[in-house]
């Protein structure tokens, strides 16, 4: 086996389809899903300790680049995966919501850790008891803090969602109703 084969494993799985000599055919939805799921651009919204676990997830040992997500973006308009990591104070809520609203469709959200998912141990007047009170969440990662393996598991779950999402979902009644629940136009 050459060095090149060792360091460049195939990471993108072929979607369902029909294959034969010299051709492969699949649906348009699945081809787009394959591209999207392997090129997610995360926006890390890190406010406290869970953000440190994310730094470890990005570094060489865990290497999020293996999943096509090494291109972080701190501009909402150039990212499609909002990763919220840390305690979100109620004062910070409108900022987080604005960041979410500014992201272009299609977009997904992971709540990383107990604080982002539910307020964690901070059941106090000043802490938002879960970001899903102000924006929709696709995947919750448990733990205080979650280990990088758990964050990667969350990314894999998002990839599964993204790869199987219908291209029509964002225009569907169900999705519009979800946005209305959050008073997002
Ligand atoms: S879940 Fe735990 S580790 Fe993560 S931000 Fe909250 S207190 Fe820190």
Residue with tokens 């730094």: 55
Q: Hey, which of 54, 113, 140 would you mutate to test ligand 1's pocket, going by the most ligand atoms within 8 Å of its Cβ?
A: 113
Which of 129, 45, 41, 138 minimizes the C-alpha distance to 95?
A: 45
38 CA → ligand 1 middle, Å = 28
Residue 144 forms part of a structural domain:
yes
* Ligand 1 within 6 A of CB of 52: no
Q: Which pLDDT score, from 0 to 100, does residue 7 have?
A: 47
Eight-state DSSP code of residue 66: G
82 falls within a domain: yes
Residue 121's pLDDT is 96
The pLDDT of residue 11 is 66
| Residue 79: inside a domain | yes
Q: What count of other Cβ atoms lies within 10 Å of the Cβ of residue 141?
A: 25
Average pLDDT of the chain, as a whole number: 92
Dist. CA 86 → ligand 1 center (Å): 6
Is the residue at 140 inside a domain? yes
List pLDDT tens digits, range 52-98: 999 999 999 999 999 999 899 999 999 999 999 999 999 999 999 99
- Is 36 among the domain residues? no
CA 122 to ligand 1 centroid distance, Å = 9
CA 170, CA 162: separation in Å to the nearest integer? 12
Distance CA 42, CA 91 (A): 23
pLDDT at 10 (0 to 100): 55
pTM given for the model:
0.90
160 in a domain, yes or no? yes
Domain range for 146 is 41-181
Query: What's the CA dihedral at 115, 118, 121, 126 to 10 degrees?
Result: 80
Q: Whose CA is closest to atom 8 on ligand 1?
A: 49
State whether the beta carbon of 146 lies less than 6 angstroms from ligand 1: no
Domain CATH code at residue 151: 3.40.50.12280
Distance 110 CA to ligand 1 centre (A): 15
pLDDT for res 12:
77
DSSP the chain: --HHHHH----SPP-S-EEETTEEE--HHHHHHHHHHTS--EEEEE-STHHHHHHHHHSTTT-GGGGT-----SSGGG-SEEEEES--BTTTHHHHHHHHHHSPSS-EEEEEHHHHHH-TT--STTB-S-GGGTS--SEEE-SSSPPHHHHHHHHHHHHHHHHH--TTGGGSHHHHHHHHHTT--
Q: How many CA atoms lie within 13 A of 64 on its CB side?
A: 26
Q: What domain count does the chain have? A: 1
* pLDDT surpassing 60 at residue 1: no
């Amino acid at each position: 086996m050459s060095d090149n084969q060792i360091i460049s494993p195939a990471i993108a799985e072929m979607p369902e389809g029909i294959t034969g000599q010299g051709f492969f055919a699949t649906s348009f939805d699945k081809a787009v899903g394959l591209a999207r799921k392997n090129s997610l651009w995360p926006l890390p919204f890190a406010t406290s300790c869970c953000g440190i676990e994310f730094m470890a997830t990005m570094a060489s040992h865990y290497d999020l680049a293996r999943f096509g997500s090494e291109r972080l973006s701190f501009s909402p308009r150039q990212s499609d995966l909002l990763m919220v990591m840390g305690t979100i104070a109620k004062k910070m809520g409108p900022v987080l919501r604005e960041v979410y609203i500014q992201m272009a469709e299609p977009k997904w959200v992971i709540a990383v850790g107990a604080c982002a998912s539910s307020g964690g141990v901070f059941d106090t007047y000043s802490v938002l008891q879960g970001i899903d009170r102000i924006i929709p969440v696709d995947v919750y990662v448990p733990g205080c803090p979650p280990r990088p393996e758990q964050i990667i598991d969350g990314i894999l779950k998002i990839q599964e969602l993204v790869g199987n999402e219908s291209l029509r979902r964002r225009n569907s009644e169900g999705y519009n109703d979800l946005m209305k629940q959050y008073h997002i136009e």
